[in-house]
Structure 1
């Protein structure tokens, strides 16, 4: 669930560029062969069987709630690896072969790639979809519409607003103020190092985490003017973020353990890392990684670049998309809407899979009310709800994010090894991204 977007803006007016891309994996993007894509969305006349591919634990139990109440529309869950670990490639192979599942979990940062490849059904004409916008956190709706008029390509599922997890006990015992700005965070990093620990870890492979940092700073990596893409991984805000973390790396003030590894888990459990600037889904990740530290953590807003600021980044988040070629888009869309708005489904998906719903109604769920024992009884989801409202709605993802992540991650590895810098990685990643767009005949501005 690591991986989102904004309100409808010109940056999402992608129709012209997408239809000019010349890399369609299906039919014409205006096709109405299924009765959904840009046209009518009529229900089937008889019983329907749908397939849904996801990697969320326990999703089969959530779907069983639907199946019990909808005997004429049965959904079979297919599980796969995390999107970039294999599921997305499987989707593209299946789309090419004409045997894709009816529905698939797709993270927000991967949706533009599927749109470019014409792998998504436009479900805007399906019952209840066009009027569903108000049921979701506003910026997540922009992620599934791309700013196109009368178009909806998925239903928002979850999101990843970011905040700072920190060891409240260790900060208090050391007499170190909990940082509220990035300047204070760097100063605290020196103090924590003097205590024999690190303030946090720099994640080489989680480039989407770094993107969340740039997002918070107000940067943009991609934009689209309706005719071609702009790629800007090296803008002022990106440079600011890269320089900041480069300084911490150069001064050995942050660790560089592989994220989510056994060593990484142990560093939190043993008090060797005092903070983690991460997404809401990290709450359970941290409690699982560091069980011996229960009751010692707390959550605060992300440090700010300016004193008094309130901006937040986002890391992660998924949608439930109806894939191109589904023979029953009306029923698929109805299921996707139910899955991501029904209170019982949302509560169970959170309990079993740790999802933080994109639905506005999530704030009313018991799971997100009151204190959390692992975090000293703090009502941490209040912090994340506030962060979600402070996420810039206009951040845009490009259509080749998987490749961009890989290229930048390789450069980050060199920077961690001391043979390069984070800015070098972004510069090289930008050029490789432009080259990748050109190789796929996707229009790009230079």
Structure 2
């Protein structure tokens, strides 16, 4: 998928979502006020690490607008919990959301229009984050960060076996074979059936666009396209050859494999270094990071692996104060400094990337001073992505069907076709018109 075709898809989905949200911008502006002389208190839902410490910075400098943080809701359940709160008439004033969940929150009229604070900030915002939060010229969230994808690899293991750092997926496959042949106890990586988000990012890099709008009120779903099948076939081949592991990510087995050298690389994102440092502290100083291998080096591309934003909900009684906090939280030097210190954020606000803490190396890779410069370059080739309204259902289907395919070491194409069918059926049950 070229960048221009991706932008066209974003604009197409924008028209539908914006049309359904014309009433959102002012839906809460007539809410009640606090008693005279008392501070306004906002409730903010977030799962970001150490978010309380970041909010403390705001509360200390804004005595008239205090923010109370609720961290009981995780990113994988935010849509369900916000939907339930909306039905109960008890939405928080603000909430963290993943980019992939934002369309569902827009369609359900939970995410409010924040164009008045974000509309003039396109030149100040990283392009991948802007396209995922701005629909048909209407802004529905303040972007928090972006997630440029990297290949992290063990420099000591590669040096020991004389392995080149792969720049293409063909080279990556050969390195996987050569490494496992040289040391059968070591794998280049794992193919995790529980990580649909990772597969989606790799498919996007190859040119896939899983959701798009079809007409007015309908969706097109294309998870079984040529690009996605190319990625599925590639990994099925490596799994069938037994030259990559099949352990699931973010499990004790996976953590142990990173720590003891069973896994010599990891496909991750800009936020990965602290995870590796925490899970494999003895390997600090033995990692390096490069952009993903490419299918076509002449046309470099990258996908999306995570990322969050802040929404102001349509249920707030204090929309002006909520928007002020959301903008401060994601664009001010004070907040971004705290985020970088406590949550390892790579800011979507371009000004934040100039902060001193992001000019050097990470603790994991003290010799790689260009890590954040490389992250900025990867952002430039990250394809625009359109997420659909039922990402959680699609990802659940992926885990179910690819777990079976991984166990059988075959059938990845059939699993992908089933994910397509399940995703379409889920949309149809929700009342959408769907084409394939």
Note whether the superposition's TM-score is higher than 0.5.
yes
Could you say what secondary structure the match of 1:169 adopts? helix
Distance 1:337 1:193, change over 3 A: same
Distance across 1 between alignment mates of 2:268 and 2:409: 27
Q: Residue in 1 aligned with 2:124?
A: 135
Distance across 2 between alignment mates of 1:361 and 1:204: 37
Distance 1:12 1:42, change over 3 A: farther
The equivalences for 1:345-364 within 5 A come to: 345-364=335-354
Q: Residue in 1 aligned with 2:211?
A: 222
Which among 159, 173, 179 is matched to residue 186 of structure 1?
173
Q: Is 1:391 aligned to residue 382 of structure 2?
A: yes
Tell me if structure 1 keeps the 8 A contact 2:192–2:246: yes
Tell me if structure 1 keeps the 8 A contact 2:111–2:314: yes
Q: Is 1:77 aligned to residue 69 of structure 2?
A: yes
Tell me if structure 2 keeps the 8 A contact 1:188–1:199: yes
Tell me if structure 1 keeps the 8 A contact 2:156–2:286: yes
Could you say what secondary structure the match of 1:106 adopts? strand
Could you report, residue by residue, the CA deviation over 1:322-381 in whole angstroms, capped at 9, with x for unpaired residues?
112111111111111110011121121122122221111232122221223421420222
Could you report, residue by residue, the CA deviation over 1:147-195 in whole angstroms, capped at 9, with x for unpaired residues?
x23x211100112110110011111111111111100000000111012
Q: Residue in 1 aligned with 2:134?
A: 145
Distance across 2 between alignment mates of 1:221 and 1:417: 25
Q: Is 1:278 aligned to residue 265 of structure 2?
A: no
Distance 1:217 1:185, change over 3 A: same
Q: Residue in 1 aligned with 2:405?
A: 415
Structure 1 residue ranges, 4+ long, deviating more than 4 angstroms after superposition: 15-21, 27-31, 41-46
Q: Is 1:438 aligned to residue 432 of structure 2?
A: no
Distance across 1 between alignment mates of 2:16 and 2:368: 47
Could you say what secondary structure the match of 2:242 adopts? coil
* 165-174 or 137-146: bigger deviation: 137-146
Q: CA deviation at 1:76?
A: 0.7
TM-score (norm 2): 0.92
Superposition RMSD in Å: 2.4
Distance 1:136 1:15, change over 3 A: closer
Q: CA deviation at 1:56?
A: 0.8
Q: Is 1:161 aligned to residue 148 of structure 2?
A: yes
Which among 346, 351, 356 is matched to residue 366 of structure 1?
356
Q: Is 1:34 aligned to residue 33 of structure 2?
A: no
Q: Residue in 2 aligned with 1:24?
A: none
Q: Is 1:65 aligned to residue 57 of structure 2?
A: yes
Q: Residue in 2 aligned with 1:48?
A: 40
Distance 1:43 1:308, change over 3 A: farther
Could you say what secondary structure the match of 2:204 adopts? helix
| Structure 2 stretches lacking a partner, 5+ long | none
Could you say what secondary structure the match of 1:9 adopts? helix
Tell me if structure 1 keeps the 8 A contact 2:240–2:409: no
Distance 1:356 1:19, change over 3 A: closer
Distance across 2 between alignment mates of 1:409 and 1:154: 29
Could you say what secondary structure the match of 1:223 adopts? strand
Give the structure with the larger helix fraction.
Answer: 2
The number of residue pairs the alignment matches comes to 426
Distance across 1 between alignment mates of 2:74 and 2:345: 14
Q: CA deviation at 1:98?
A: 0.8
Q: CA deviation at 1:50?
A: 0.6
Tell me if structure 2 keeps the 8 A contact 1:412–1:425: yes
Which among 126, 139, 162 is matched to residue 175 of structure 1?
162
Distance across 2 between alignment mates of 1:229 and 1:103: 28
